[in-house]
Amino acid sequence: MSEIIKIAHDMLISIAPVVGIIFFFQFVILKKSFPDNKKIFIGIVSVWIGLTLFVIGLEQTLFPIGKLMAYELTSKEFISSHVFPWSEYFWIYLFAILIGISTTLAEPSLLAVSIKAEESSGGFVKSWPLRIAVAIGVGLGLLVGVIRIIYGLPILYFFVTGYLIIIILVYLSPKEIIPLAFDSGGVTTSTVTVPLIAALGIGLSYSIDGKDILVDGFGLIAFASLFPIIAVMGYIQIVKIINKISK
């Protein structure tokens, strides 16, 4: 019970400043009321209840199981129990890809962006394909991030390469889609994804010898925000090609 109150309280603390700032500017500075005050109020309370239930559910199911899984897969016993040298990290790689894809599809922030994107593009951008493209991006990003941790490569190389690919894609993609693609990268790592990614990164840097948590344990989240940008622009390229062929 105290756990529930704590989560509800945490959520309230993160909603309160948002609501406070909106109300202050709306009522005190602009001196206007909303078109429908009651509806707005119900909506805000409903977001609060929704996020509270969501996080309670996560803490009860996905977080303990997922974190345990990340630690077990990265434990020395598990890694060294494999016969073939190439297969020692196989399950970690697969886990990184699949957990990236599946958690992203349930990410509330991405849901919010995709709803708005579908609305404001007049249906040209569809919510599901957009989210699937972003999810694949997160999965691939985590895979590359995990490979980086295992082989201890400097993060800057990957980011310079990633940024260059993005800059090239910017010039190839239709202008309308670029801001959305960039936003998709920023929203992927939030409520559901971050705790699991953190467990994976820290578990890995503990179990591989010679790894420094500061240098190697952090950085996974950054990969999970870089690759979706590439994935969304890539998805648009594919849609363009399909449209061309079908014409």
Residue 72 Cβ vs other proteins, minimum distance, rounded to whole Å: 6
According to the binding rule CB under 8 A, does residue 140 interact with other proteins? no
d(CA 237, CA 232): 9
Provide the minimum distance between the beta carbon of 238 and other proteins in the complex, in angstroms, as a whole number.
19
CB 79, min distance to other proteins, A: 12
Which tokens sit at 160?
């310079």
d(CA 73, CA 118): 38
| Among candidate residues 36, 39, 30, 110, the one with its CA nearest the CA of residue 22 | 30
Q: What does each C-alpha distance from 104 to 8, 137, 191 come to in angstroms?
A: 23, 10, 10
**CB neighbours (10 Å) of residue 88?**
15
Subset of residues 100 to 129 that bind other proteins, contact rule: CB under 8 A: 101-103, 105-109, 111-113, 115-117, 119-121, 124-125
Number of residues that bind other proteins (CB under 8 A): 110
Nearer to other proteins, 157 or 242 (CB): 157
Regarding 62 and contact with other proteins (CB under 8 A), the answer is: yes
**Is residue 239 near other proteins by the rule CB under 8 A?**
no
Q: In the window 198-227, what residues touch other proteins (CB under 8 A)?
A: 212-222, 224-225
Residues 120 and 171: their CA atoms lie apart, in Å, by 23
* Contact between residue 170 and residue 181 where contact means Cβ atoms under 8 Å apart: no
Q: Least distance in Å: CB of 246 to other proteins?
A: 23
Q: What is the dihedral of CA 10, 11, 15, 16, to 10 degrees?
A: -40
Give the Cα separation of 150 and 67 in Å (integer).
Answer: 19
Q: Is 48 in the site for other proteins (CB under 8 A)?
A: yes
Nearest distance in Å: CB 80, other proteins = 15
58 binds other proteins (CB under 8 A): yes
Choice from 5, 98, 153, 238 touching other proteins (CB under 8 A): 98
Give the whole-angstrom CA distance, residue 60 versus residue 8.
15
User: Within 163-202, which residues bind other proteins (CB under 8 A)?
Assistant: 163, 166-167, 170, 175-180, 182-183, 185-192, 194
Nearer to other proteins, 40 or 239 (CB): 40
Residue from 3, 5, 22, 172 touching other proteins (CB under 8 A): that is 22
